[in-house]
Amino acid sequence: MYGKNVWMIADGYMSDTVKGEYVSHEAICVLNVSGKDANINITLYFEDAEPMRNIKAVCKNDRTNHIRLDKVVTEDGKKIPRNTPYAVLVESDQPIVVQSSRLDVSQPEYALMTTIAY
What residue segments make up the domains of the chain, in order of their start?
A: 4-116
Q: Which tens digit of pLDDT belongs to each residue from 43-81?
A: 999 999 999 999 999 999 999 999 999 999 988 899 999
**CATH architecture, domain defined by 4-116:** Sandwich (2.60)
- What type of residue sits at position 29? C
- Paired with 108 in beta bridges are none
Residue 31 scores a pLDDT above 80: yes
Rounded to whole angstroms, how far apart are CA atoms 5 and 33?
13
Q: Which tens digit of pLDDT belongs to each residue from 72-84?
A: 998 889 999 999 9
Minimal CA–CA distance to 67: which of 92, 99, 91? 99
Rounded to whole angstroms, how far apart are CA atoms 101 and 118?
13
Averaged pLDDT for residues 15-32: 90
